[in-house]
Amino acid sequence: KTSNYDVVVIGAGGAGFSAAITARNAGANVVLLEKMPAVGGNSLISGAEMNVAKNWVQPKLGINDDSPELHAQDTFKGGDGKGDMKVINVMTHEALDAAKWCRDYLGVRFEDDNLFFFGGHSRKRALIPVGHTGTEFIAKFQAKADELGIPVITNMKAEELIKDKDGRVVGVKATMDGSEYTFNAKGGVVLATGGFGANPEMVKKYNPKIDERFKTTDAPGTTGEALYMAERAGAELVNMGYIQTYPICDPISGAIELIADARFDGAIMLNQEGKRFVEELQRRDVLSEAILNQTGRYCWVLWNDKIGSISNTVKAHANEYEAFTKQGVMTTCDDLKCIADFTKIPFDQLQKTVKRVSDMAGKGNDKDFNHRSGLVDMQQGKYYVIKAVPSTHHTMGGVRINEKAEALTAEGKVIPGLWAAGEVTGVTHGTNRLGGNAYTDIIVFGRIAGEAAAKAAK
Ligand code: ADP
């Protein structure tokens, strides 16, 4: 079966939806292909916080000195200088416009009075969607796609990019239930297929250190075959060995523990001996490495109501609270004795650590690990504790793009008709993606790619 479109977008996560909606609004006849039975990808299960310098919440929190330049520097530095500054600058400078598009055009609701302060950032700048997950975004994306009449075809797996005799990408070969389909794309194809964190063989191939012991936080469709598809079409894959493990995940399933985001408000990380061992707001790679160096390769995240009341993660993630408590990964206690009994951390040391943390509460007082936003008094319960291990989370590598989201060859030449956006790309985050940058990345470059592909069809 063959059908003709102006623009074909592959992958219905945040990048793909942004591209498809933008292409449609630029006048293109567009289709969105998704290999899984449901849309959303990693974008759906993500915490979905979005870094935006100079956002509308910052002044309410007294933050008036942020800038896209600072955000770009943090991103570049957070990736150990391996990111492409031209691309990063586009991301940080377009972030506010992208967030307003989400808020005002898509109707995404953000918390009005709170931000997340992810590791590696020099300013608190991550907008928080209502519910603290990607559900808010994906629901609004889907509603807008419906409103605009964009066909979103699930169970349709892109297998091969089609090139014409001049080397331009002009379509996609796909399969559904073993049948073949051809989607011609007059303007071109946007690749928005996400990463490969849920493909253990591919992860190990590019980074042998991340072996079978690691589970993954990722959506099951995050298996990366489309990267090879791009490679066959001439795109260069770069930075493929840079694979991020998320430090705080469920030891049983590998799922991310969003409930432990209380860490951003002061929750502490303890080893089995009951000692802190790292600054809790460090980069994800640093935290993961630190956890793997502790007894049993895991840690405990501990917080009390005083910390919990700030972002209310227990309430925001009521489903996690129930599931993790039932599984025995997490518990809630009135006092530290009960926490010690549950975790088998020596009670003496636990008391000592909590006392020391409480004595050092307040910004600038942490003599042990220099907690950047300040420790919180933890002498009073209730207490919450959860066991955590790192699991594979985000693959920084992928298709090499330029600042226009055009896919490039190893020689740096643009592949006509091929754009890429989101986790499938490989030049924004360097060695290590900072928290809250994925959503900024997918929306900014999804929109750029969609717009350009639509223009090319004219
Ligand atoms: P991003 O955050 O970059 O948007 P996501 O993981 O949210 O990435 O979304 C990528 C989507 O692409 C997922 O829903 C995934 O199932 C889908 N996908 C991956 N490979 C293919 C493919 N070959 N054909 C169609 N869809 C794909």
**Protein residue closest via CA to atom 23 of ligand 1:** 158
**In the chain, % of residues over pLDDT 90:** 98
Gap between the Cα atoms of 430 and 365, Å rounded: 32
- What tens digit of pLDDT does each residue of 24-58 get? 999 999 999 999 999 999 999 999 999 999 999 99
Ligand 1 pocket: which of 35, 49, 227 to mutate (most atoms within 8 A of CB): 35
Which of 259, 40, 265, 247 shows the shortest CA–CA distance to 131?
259
Q: What is the pLDDT of residue 428?
A: 98
Ligand 1 pocket: which of 18, 32, 34, 160 to mutate (most atoms within 8 A of CB): 34
Q: What is the pLDDT of residue 127?
A: 98
> Cα 120 vs. chain centroid, distance in angstroms?
14
Cα Rg, the chain, nearest whole Å = 22
* φ, ψ for residue 243, nearest 5 deg: -125, 125
Q: Which two tokens stand for residue 179?
A: 């049948």
Instruction: Indicate the angle between helix axes 14-25 and 135-148, nearest 10 degrees.
Output: 30
Q: What is the pLDDT of residue 160?
A: 98
How close is the Cα of 421 to the center of ligand 1, in Å? 11
Model confidence band, residue 355 (pLDDT cutoffs 50, 70, 90) = very high
Model confidence band, residue 297 (pLDDT cutoffs 50, 70, 90) = very high
Gap between the Cα atoms of 414 and 429, Å rounded: 21
Closest atom of ligand 1 to 33 CA is 25
Model confidence band, residue 454 (pLDDT cutoffs 50, 70, 90) = very high
Q: Round the average pLDDT of the chain to a whole number and report it.
A: 97
The Cβ of residue 360 has, within 10 Å, a number of other Cβ atoms equal to 18
Residue 213, pLDDT above cutoff 90: no
Residue 285, pLDDT above cutoff 90: no
- What tens digit of pLDDT does each residue of 248-276 get? 999 999 999 999 999 999 999 999 999 99
Ligand 1 pocket: which of 193, 229, 396, 441 to mutate (most atoms within 8 A of CB): 193
DSSP secondary structure letter of residue 403: T
382 cis-preceded (ω within 30 degrees of 0) = yes
3-state secondary structure of 29: coil
How close is the Cα of 334 to the center of ligand 1, in Å? 43
Burial of 160 (0-12, 13-18, 19+ CB in 10 A): middle
How close is the Cα of 194 to the center of ligand 1, in Å? 5
Model confidence band, residue 452 (pLDDT cutoffs 50, 70, 90) = very high
**Protein residue closest via CA to atom 9 of ligand 1:** 13
Residues 216/393, Cβ–Cβ less than 8 Å: yes
Gap between the Cα atoms of 62 and 246, Å rounded: 30
Model confidence band, residue 442 (pLDDT cutoffs 50, 70, 90) = very high
Q: What is the pLDDT of residue 431?
A: 96
CA angle 94, 99, 100 (to 5 degrees): 100
**Protein residue closest via CA to atom 13 of ligand 1:** 41
How close is the Cα of 319 to the center of ligand 1, in Å? 25
Pocket of ligand 1 (CB under 6 A): 10-16, 33-36, 41-43, 157-158, 192-194, 219, 221-222, 225-226, 422-424, 442
Active-site annotation holds for 284: yes
- What tens digit of pLDDT does each residue of 380-405 get? 999 999 999 999 999 999 999 999 99
Instruction: Indicate the angle between helix axes 85-100 and 68-78, nearest 10 degrees.
Output: 130
276 DSSP β-pair partners: 270
- What tens digit of pLDDT does each residue of 214-234 get? 999 999 999 999 999 999 999
**Protein residue closest via CA to atom 27 of ligand 1:** 11
Which position among 283, 284, 433, 447 bears the catalytic label? Answer: 284
How close is the Cα of 418 to the center of ligand 1, in Å? 16
CA angle 197, 280, 381 (to 5 degrees): 115
Q: What is the pLDDT of residue 252?
A: 96
Q: What is the pLDDT of residue 189?
A: 98
Residues 291/297, Cβ–Cβ less than 8 Å: yes
* Phi and psi based region of residue 384 (left: phi greater than 0; alpha: psi -120 to 50; beta: remaining): beta
How close is the Cα of 134 to the center of ligand 1, in Å? 14
Helix (H) or strand (E) holding 416: strand 414-420
| ipTM for this prediction | 0.99
DSSP secondary structure letter of residue 271: -
**Protein residue closest via CA to atom 14 of ligand 1:** 41
DSSP labels for 96-161?
HHHHHIIIIII---EEEEEEE--TT-SS--EEEETTSSTHHHHHHHHHHHHHHT--EETT-EEEEE
DSSP labels for 174-239?
EEETTEEEEEEEEEEEEE-----TT-HHHHHHH-TTS-TT--B-S-TT---HHHHHHHHTTPPEE-
